[in-house]
Amino acid sequence: MKKLLIQMTIGAFLCASAAVATADSQGLFLDKCGSCHKRGGQAAVVNPADKAGRVWEKYFARGRHPVDMGINEGDLGAVIQYLADHAADSDQPASAVIPK
Amino acid sequence: MKKILFAPALVLTFLGTALAAPEMVTLPASDYKAILEQLKTLQTRVETLEHQSPTTKATSAAMPNKLAKDVELIYDTLDEVETKTLKDRINLGAELRTRVDNFKVKNHLYFSTGSTGTQESNDNSWTNRFRLNLDADIQKNLKFTGRLTAYKNFADSDSPNADVLGDSNNAHLPDGSNIKLDRAYVDWIPSNMPIPLAITFGRHPSSEGPPFEIKENRKRQSTYPALLFDGEADGVVATIGLERYTGWKDSGIRFAWGKSYQDDDDVNSYLDAPSGLDDSNVFAAFFETQIPGINDSLLVLSALRANDLVADFTSLGITPAANIGDIDLYGIHAQANKVMGSNFALFLSLGLDKTHPNGTTMSYGPYTMGLLNSDGTSSHSGWAVYTGLAYTIPSPRLNNPKIGFEYNHGSDYWFSFTSGSTELYNKLATRGDVYDIYYIQPFNDNLYARFGYTYADYDYALSGYHIGDFGDSEEKLRNAYFLMDCRF
């Protein structure tokens, strides 16, 4: 029973950590991308499920974002990872993180 | 660009230094801060440009505006197409077969009544069979394959809706949630294993196995030779590749486990039925290889043990169902699809069964029935041979039609797991002789017709049953058929 409780605690901790990581990534996405890509913003609304994960990676690898995002390399990597994790072909596609 | 950006900085620095020594220049603090801020901005801009990819630089610098826009448009289109492609996780295929049979049967023994019919026939028995084939390359080493099937007589659904209104509204009225799951399995090749290993789990490709692909005019459809196993099966299979050890192409050994019967409680389906039966477990091993020295060939050695076979005729009022014993099956199958490089395909399949009854019998009408016996204890052996050849006529004008002949013989007490046979009368279960001739006329890569004639002369009654010993038979079956088959 004690073992089970420990396992459940560890499991809950891992789940919570994952949730925090996701929330952080989402926050970063909203902060860095959502400032322009929003309804009535400077650019069209964009969401992770607009493209497949591999397509997002290629998009940034090709430097296709039309304007300087003013984002450092580490944050950009985290945003791309978030986009891939919630892309159209992922297990958890996110299509309305930024409302359309 | 870098040089240009650095120039103002250098000028400013030089000015500052030059003027500082002999002559002092006094600047308002706000101007000085503004200059420093400008320097910092320029430095950041230079660093950003340095980190951009060469592709970007080339695109933006080298391309005229119109061309750059076109490239962006093409990229956007590619994004849409690639996203859609990546979302299509399952590939779909379909096949449709319409078949008409003419049956004539003489002296058939009816199990439910114990009487022998004189002559029965069906001038035109029409069926439709639709299959939806699915597959997905989930990962490099993970593949899914599935098949959903609807197979029906013309104008005959036997559904509650059919009682009043016939068959014509069967798919247009609410009538349950069932679809027929023919096969659904995953092939997994674990990485970094010391030996080449593949694990297959799910509902297996265990029907229409070799050599049926010759007659069915398609690729091999099953792991198991049809003479021993032709039906649907749930289980787990481990395949070990042996080619690197034996040097024989496509050689490997398979260990299979599955259930041919799982007892459950009809009320709580996750529980055994109270005082229920033992499950029937099937264990099998197969060695297969391309026959050394013969291209496009196959050799399969099979051994199978099925424990606790069940006789369940509760639908006929025979209660209770019972475990009646175990059975062993052994087989050898050899096949060459292009004998000596010719257009001939040839195969030979041998099967052997041996029963281990447990003493249980059940009674029905005039019969007392155990495992292939009428006393519950007698152990029997049976055997079967299945052979045939086919010739593809090299005539491009006629789309290379094929003609084939098959023969099979089963002894008294021959039994194997072929209840899922494509031939509705379970041809390979026959305890007697069967002669089968057919002609395949392809019209294109997706459509062909086949017509054929089969004659079965039964020596022993109720072939295909694993219970009872029903004695000699004078039954004859004649079947002429025509089918159209479309796959895409």
- Rounded CA separation B413/A81 (Å): 64
Backbone angle region of B214, left / alpha / beta, with phi > 0 → left and psi within -120 to 50 → alpha: alpha
CB contact under 8 A, A62 and B89: no
**Per-residue confidence (pLDDT) for residue B367, from 0 to 100:** 83
In Å, what is the CA distance from B340 to each residue of B293, B296, B434? 10, 10, 28
Residue B151, φ and ψ in degrees, nearest 5: -140, 120
For B79, the closest of A51, A61, A89 (CB atoms) is A51
What is the mean predicted confidence (pLDDT) over A38-59? 93
What is the mean predicted confidence (pLDDT) over B367-384? 93
For B56, the closest of A51, A52, A63 (CB atoms) is A63
In Å, what is the CA distance from B75 to each residue of A15, A84, A85, B80? 38, 18, 22, 9
**Per-residue confidence (pLDDT) for residue B270, from 0 to 100:** 80
Contact partners, residue B247, CB within 8 Å, separation at least 6: none
CB contact under 8 A, B83 and A52: yes
B424 vs B160: which has the higher pLDDT: B424
**Per-residue confidence (pLDDT) for residue B165, from 0 to 100:** 60
- Rounded CA separation B143/B141 (Å): 7
CB contact under 8 A, B86 and A53: yes
Q: Quick check: B89 pLDDT over 90?
A: no
Residues in chain B: 488
Reported as half-sphere exposure (CB side, CA atoms, 13 A), residue B76 has a value of 8
- Rounded CA separation B204/B238 (Å): 12
**Per-residue confidence (pLDDT) for residue B51, from 0 to 100:** 62
* Percent of chain B residues past pLDDT 70, beyond the cut: 88
**Per-residue confidence (pLDDT) for residue B50, from 0 to 100:** 59
List of chain B residues whose C-beta atoms are within 8 Å of the C-beta of residue A59: 75, 79
**Per-residue confidence (pLDDT) for residue B161, from 0 to 100:** 57
Q: Which residues of B make CB contacts under 8 Å with A?
A: 48, 51-53, 55-56, 59, 72, 75, 79, 82-83, 86-87, 89
Confidence of residue B163 (pLDDT cuts 50, 70, 90): low
A54, A89, A92, A95: which to substitute to probe chain B, counting the most B Cβ within 10 Å?
A89
Task: Report the chain A residue with the minimal C-alpha distance to residue B80.
Answer: A51
- Measured from the Cβ of residue B420, the count of other Cβ atoms closer than 10 Å reads 17
CB contact under 8 A, B86 and A73: no
Q: What is the residue-averaged pLDDT of chain B? A: 87
**Per-residue confidence (pLDDT) for residue B44, from 0 to 100:** 78
Strands B381-392 and B180-188: unpaired
Q: Which of A32-41, A84-93, B18-27, B164-173 has the lowest mean pLDDT?
A: B18-27
Using alpha carbons only, how large is chain B's radius of gyration in Å?
35
Contact partners, residue B330, CB within 8 Å, separation at least 6: B302, B303, B304, B351, B352, B353
- Rounded CA separation B227/B210 (Å): 8
Q: Long-range contacts for A80-84 (Cβ within 8 Å, ≥24 apart)?
A: A80/A56, A81/A25, A82/A22, A82/A25, A82/A26, A82/A28, A82/A29, A82/A48, A83/A29, A83/A48, A83/A51, A83/A53, A83/A56, A84/A48, A84/A53, A84/A54, A84/A56, A84/A57
Helix or strand or coil: residue B4? helix
Confidence of residue B178 (pLDDT cuts 50, 70, 90): confident
CB contact under 8 A, B86 and A59: no
CB contact under 8 A, B83 and A55: yes
**Per-residue confidence (pLDDT) for residue B52, from 0 to 100:** 59
Let me know: does B386 contact B349? Beta carbons within 8 Å: yes
List of chain A residues whose C-beta atoms are within 8 Å of the C-beta of residue B75: 59, 62, 64
Confidence of residue B265 (pLDDT cuts 50, 70, 90): confident
Task: Report the chain A residue with the minimal C-alpha distance to residue B86.
Answer: A89
- Rounded CA separation B462/B468 (Å): 9
Confidence of residue B19 (pLDDT cuts 50, 70, 90): very low
- The alpha carbon of residue A6 is apart from the nearest alpha carbon of chain B, in Å, by 29
**Per-residue confidence (pLDDT) for residue B16, from 0 to 100:** 45
Chain centroid to Cα A49, Å, comes to: 10
Task: Report the chain B residue with the minimal C-alpha distance to residue A58.
Answer: B79
Confidence of residue B156 (pLDDT cuts 50, 70, 90): confident
Amino acid at position B52, single letter? Q
- The alpha carbon of residue A55 is apart from the nearest alpha carbon of chain B, in Å, by 6
The pTM of the whole model exceeds 0.95: no
Chain centroid to Cα B187, Å, comes to: 11
CB contact under 8 A, B86 and A62: no
CB contact under 8 A, A55 and B55: no
What is the mean predicted confidence (pLDDT) over B198-226? 94
CB contact under 8 A, A63 and B52: yes
Q: Which of A49-58, B6-15, B73-82, B348-357 has the lowest mean pLDDT?
A: B6-15
Inter-chain CB pairs, A–B, below 8 Å: 37
Q: What is the crossing angle of helices A53-61 and B65-87, to 10°?
A: 160
List of chain B residues whose C-beta atoms are within 8 Å of the C-beta of residue A68: 48
List of chain B residues whose C-beta atoms are within 8 Å of the C-beta of residue A48: none
**Per-residue confidence (pLDDT) for residue B62, from 0 to 100:** 59
- Measured from the Cβ of residue B204, the count of other Cβ atoms closer than 10 Å reads 24
What is the mean predicted confidence (pLDDT) over A50-62? 93
pLDDT tens string B192-205: 999 999 999 999 99
Residue B439, φ and ψ in degrees, nearest 5: -135, 130
A62, A69, A91, A92: which to substitute to probe chain B, counting the most B Cβ within 10 Å?
A62
CB contact under 8 A, B83 and A61: no
Residue B293 tokens read as: 């020295």
CB contact under 8 A, B56 and A73: no
**Per-residue confidence (pLDDT) for residue B273, from 0 to 100:** 78
B63-67, B160-164, B177-181, B248-252: which is most confident: B248-252
CB contact under 8 A, A68 and B48: yes
Q: Which spans in B102-219 are helix H?
A: 162-165, 212-216
Tokens 């695109």 found at? B59
**Per-residue confidence (pLDDT) for residue B21, from 0 to 100:** 46
Q: Quick check: B400 pLDDT over 70?
A: yes
List of chain B residues whose C-beta atoms are within 8 Å of the C-beta of residue A46: none
**Per-residue confidence (pLDDT) for residue B145, from 0 to 100:** 97
Task: Report the chain B residue with the minimal C-alpha distance to residue A69.
Answer: B48
Q: Quick check: B226 pLDDT over 90?
A: yes
For B55, the closest of A63, A68, A89 (CB atoms) is A63
Q: Quick check: B11 pLDDT over 60?
A: no
Q: Which of B80-89, B91-100, B381-390, B443-452 has the lowest mean pLDDT?
A: B80-89
CB contact under 8 A, A63 and B75: no
Residues in chain A: 100
Question: CA torsion, points A31, A35, A40, A43, in degrees to nearest 10?
Answer: -120
Q: Quick check: B297 pLDDT over 80?
A: yes
Q: Comparing C-alpha atoms, which of B433, B421, B429 is closest to residue B465?
A: B429
Tokens 């901005």 found at? B41
Contact partners, residue B348, CB within 8 Å, separation at least 6: B333, B334, B335, B385, B386, B387
List of chain B residues whose C-beta atoms are within 8 Å of the C-beta of residue A65: none
